[in-house]
Chains A and B, each alone.
Chain A
C-alpha cells in the first residue's frame, strides 16, 4: 500500500502538464486503475481484512485526488503567470474620449432660482416674448406718454400700413407674465416668471437680450416686510451664505407702490464678490407692493387683495455668484466659454444637497 502511494504521489509531482496529470489519474483511479482494482478486491476479503484495508484504500484514494487537484491548480497558475508576464500595456496612453456636454449658466441659475422659490410655494409661469403693448406697458401702469417707455429702449415689431394697432414689442421685462398669470389664476397666487427680455442697448454691460426672473405674491395681508423676508431667504440660499444683510431703498417703478431697490451687504476681493460681509452695497433687485392699477389690470380687486412683486437679472446674479466677467459672452456660444462656465448634466441643483457643488 505504501509503495502504491509513493508511486502515484511521485508521478503527480513530476507531471509536466495537464495531459500527463490526466494519465496519472487514469492509471490510479480510472476504471481499470490500480487503486480502483484494489478497491474492487475488497469484496473478496474477510470482514476483518476489509475492516483494515477498506479505510486505508479510501484514504489513499482521497490523498491522490487532492494531490491531483493541487497539482492541477499549480500547473494552471504557472500557465497564467507565463501569460501575465507577456501581457504589458503602456497605461500612460490616453483613455478613450467620452463626450462631456455642458448646461449654460443661465439654465443652471434659472433652475437654482426655481428650486429656492418652489420651497416657498412659488410656481413657475412663462409667457410670450413678443408682447402687445398693453401687456408690456399699459397693464403695468405705464401709459404711452410715460417717460419709462422711452427709457426702456423698447424693440418694436414691424407693423404693416393697413394694421392700425399699436406695434407689438419685444417684452422689456417679464412683468407681462404677471398680468397673464393674474388673469389666469386670480388671487391668491404665488409665482415666479423667469425668461428672456429685450432692450435696444449694446455696450460693455448691456446686451439686447438678457434674462430676468420676477416674482409675484398676492394674498389678503401680505406686506413689504414679507417681501423682505422672502428676499433675505432667497439671497442667503442662492449665495449659499448663513447670513446676509439686505438694505431696502425707496425707489420708483410704475407697477409697484411703494417701491424699493434692494442692496445686499458685500465686499469685493480681487474682483471676487463676497456676500454678507464688508462695507459695500450691491444693488441686485427692484421690488415693491403691487400697484392697485396693476392688480385691476390683472382682474384682481385691490380692495380685497394686496401683495408684492420683485425682479432681478438672472444673467447678473449668475455673473455675481460664479464670477463671470462679461455679460456679452453669455450669448456668444464660444466653446471655450461654454466649457469653462458651463455645468455638467448631473449638477442638477437642489436644496437638500446644496445648490452648487
Chain B
C-alpha cells in the first residue's frame, strides 16, 4: 500500500514530522517498507539570481556567470543556452551532491576560468527528464531553499511517498483514511472525518438494476446512478500527481476518480459507459459457467459457475468485485456514465480471483473486506468528484438489496488485556484507544466498527489495545521453570540417535548435506518412487516434481555435481525424511552415506585404492554401534533394485527387522544419475534399532581371566558362494564357553581349487576360565571345529 504524505494529511491534522509518522506506522503494525523523500536529496539546493553572463573566452558554448547567492556573489561557468542575466536559478554550491549526475560539486577551473558551483536543470535534480536548459523560476528570493520554494509552488514535487506492508487482517488500512485513523489513535494528530452530503438527482436513473435471489449472499447491496453529459479526458494535475506517486498510470478522469477512492477510502468503484449498457438493465447474478468475458485488461476469461457477474442483455459486462469488462468500459468519448458502488462477498471474490488468476486492486480489497456501511457514502462522494471534474448531471440513486449487518460486540475486560500482554495499560487509556479506533463501548462490551471485519473476538480487542498502546514499551518478565532445579534432559531416544548418528558419521569423514525433499521423476523411479501419490501438484520445476523415496538419489546427484567441479573422492551423508507415499504417516527417517572414488589422494605413504564395500561396511558398523544396535546381527542379501545384486548386504535382526543396508550402487543407477564410480553407500533406519530394555547406566561386571588364551588357525576349502559368516558361526558353535572369538583372516581364490572353490582361513581363540588347556584338550576341540565346519559348509580342511 502506497500513499503520499500530503494525501495522508488530507485525513490527518498533524504536526508530526515524517520520521515520527514512519516510526508510528511501523510500531502500529503498518510496517514501513519504503520511503521516497525528495526533500532529502534536494535540501541543499538554494535559489540564486544571475547578475551577469559573459561569453567564456576559451569556449563557444560556455558562459561565465556572476550569480547572487546566500553566500554572496559566486562565479559559475554554465553551458546551458538559457543562462542569462536576470533569471532566477537553482544553485548547487561547492559540496552539494547533485543526484542526477551523481557528483558532488567542487571548486574547479573550466577551460582556465574558475567556477564555484553549478546551476541545475530539472533532470540534474531528478525532478523530471527536462534538460533543455537550467531551471528558470518565475519568482524567488536569493538564498531560499529550493525545497521550500517547491513546497509553496509545486507541493507534489516534494511530497514523500510511503509504502507500507498490509497484513491480511487490516483491510481498513488499504484506504488512507484508515491509516490516518490508526495514527490519530496513537496520538499523532486528529482524524479529519468530512461529512459526505448526498447529491440530489435531477432525473430518474435510466439504468435499472436487479440482484438475482441466489446472488444476494455474494452481492448483498448494489448502488448505482447515471451521470449524463460528462466530459471525460485527462484528470487534473493534482490527481494525476497523486496516482503517479503511488505507481498508478493516469488513464482518464473517470477511471482516475475510481482509483482515487480505492486508495483514499478503500472503496473500489466501477464506471460503465451508460450508452454501452444494452437494454438499460443490469442484472447481478451467478455465472452459469462457460461464459466468455473480456476484461479491462483485454484478456479473455472463461467463467465458472457461481462467479458473481453483472450482465446486460448482451451478456456479462463485469466481474463483480474483480474487474470491469472491456465492452462497457469508459473511454475518452464517454458522455454518460453509470457509477457502481456495491459490496461483494470476500470469500466469493477470493475464490473467483484465485481461479481466474486476476490480481486487481478491487479483488485485493473486496477479498479482505471493505466497509459495507460506507457504500452509500462512497457513491455520493464519487458523484461529487465526477460532477466537479467532468461536469454533467446526476440521476437519482438506485439501490438494490440491503447493506449487510456487521454489528457485533465482544467482552471488553481491561484486566484480561493486562494479563495477556503483561504490561500495565490504564483502563482509561484502553477505553480511549478503542474509542479512537471507532469502537463503541457500552458497559463491558465493545461494539466493532463496520470497517474492521477482522475483529472477531475478545483476543482481537486485546490486540488493538496492545498495538496502539505500543508493544515497544513491553518489558520482559522471566519465565518460571516448570520444575525447580536443574533442567531435565529433553531429547527422546530417536532425537538422541539422530544427533549421535550425525556426529559419528561426520567423525568417520563424511560431509553432511541437506538436500531438497523433492527430486525429478526419473531419479525417484530409480529408487522405488515417482508415484502419483508422491507427486507435487505445483512443482517449481520438473527437477523437483516428486517427493524423494530415498536419500541416496539426492546424495548421488550431489556427487555428480561435485565430480563435475573436479572433486573425485567424495564422502557425503544426509539424515532426513523420505516419503513412501503421499500421506502424512508415509514419512520415514533415514540416514544414508555415500563414498565415491579413492580412499585417499595419491600420497607418499601408501598406494591408493578404490573405495570398496568393506570401507562402507566398517562405517555402517561403527555407526550402528554408536547408536546402540545389538552386536549380533545377520547379514542377508535381497535388498532393493538400486544395489549391485551380488555386492550388498542387509544388516538384519531376525527375519523382519532391517537395521541398515550397505553395498555398491547398481552400475545402471550410477549411469542414469551420471556418477563416475566406484560408488558404495549405506542406509540406516535408526528407528528400527530396538531400544535397550535395560535403561540402567550400570555396566555389567568385568570378568578378567588370567589364564593364557590359545589361538589356532584353520583353512577350509569350500564352494565359492559359501559365506564366511557360515564358517564363523559353525566354528563358534562348537563350544560357546571356551571359544571366545572366531576371526576370518584370509580368503583365497586360486587355480589350485578350481573356479568353483575358495579357501577361507579362520583363527579360533580359546579362553579357558578354570584351568589351562592341555594339548589333548586343544587337539580334541580342533577336531570338533573341523568336523562341524565341514558338516555345515560341505567344505574340508585345506592341507
Contacts and interface: CB of A to CB of B under 8 A. Distances in A.
Interface stretch (A5-13, A16-24, A46-54, A226-234): A226-234
Interface string A101-136: 111101100010010001111111011111110010
Which of the listed residues B169, B350, B562, B570 has the most CB atoms from chain A within 10 Å of its own CB?
Answer: B169
Nearest to B512: A104
Contacts of B499: 111, 348
B503 interface: yes
A95 B576 CA distance: 35
B414 to A, nearest CB: 15
Contact of A147 (B368, B565, B601): B368
Interface in A243-278: 246-252, 254, 257-261
A32 interface: no
Interface size class of chain B, counting residues whose CB lies under 8 Å from the partner chain: 35 or more
B603 interface: yes
Nearest to B349: A145
Summarize A's interface: helix, strand, loop or mixed: mixed
Interface size class of chain A, counting residues whose CB lies under 8 Å from the partner chain: 35 or more
Contacts of B515: 331, 333
Contacts of A167: 537
A36 interface: no
Given A147-B367, A168-B583, A221-B419, A226 B479 contact: yes
Contacts of B584: 127-128, 130-132, 135, 168
Contact of A209 (B346, B516, B571): B516
Which of the listed residues A129, A151, A200, A335 has the most CB atoms from chain B within 10 Å of its own CB?
Answer: A335
A251 B463 CA distance: 9
A237 interface: no
A102 B511 contact: yes
Which of the listed residues B472, B482, B495 has the most CB atoms from chain A within 10 Å of its own CB?
Answer: B482
Contacts of A224: 420-423, 466, 471, 474
Which of the listed residues A103, A106, A151, A196 has the most CB atoms from chain B within 10 Å of its own CB?
Answer: A103
Contacts of B27: 249-250
A258 B419 contact: no
A221 B516 CA distance: 41
B481 interface: yes
Contact of A99 (B470, B490, B508, B554): B508
B561 interface: yes
B707 interface: no
A200 B540 CA distance: 6
A217 B479 contact: yes
Interface string A27-44: 000000000000000000
B482 A145 contact: no
Given A249-B31, A250-B27, A114 B490 contact: yes
Nearest to A262: B471
Contacts of B518: 208-209
Given A157-B537, A250-B470, 16 more contacts: A101-B511, A103-B512, A135-B584, A145-B347, A145-B367, A147-B168, A158-B537, A208-B518, A228-B475, A230-B476, A231-B476, A252-B167, A258-B420, A260-B471, A333-B554, A345-B507
17 contacts: A101-B507, A118-B489, A127-B584, A155-B538, A158-B535, A170-B536, A200-B538, A223-B421, A226-B476, A230-B479, A249-B29, A250-B470, A289-B420, A293-B457, A334-B561, A335-B565, A342-B511
Interface of A: 93-94, 96-104, 106-107, 111, 114, 118-124, 126-132, 135, 145-148, 150-151, 155-160, 167-168, 170, 188, 190, 196, 198, 200-202, 207-209, 217, 221-232, 246-252, 254, 257-261, 289, 291-293, 306, 330-336, 338-339, 342, 344-346, 348
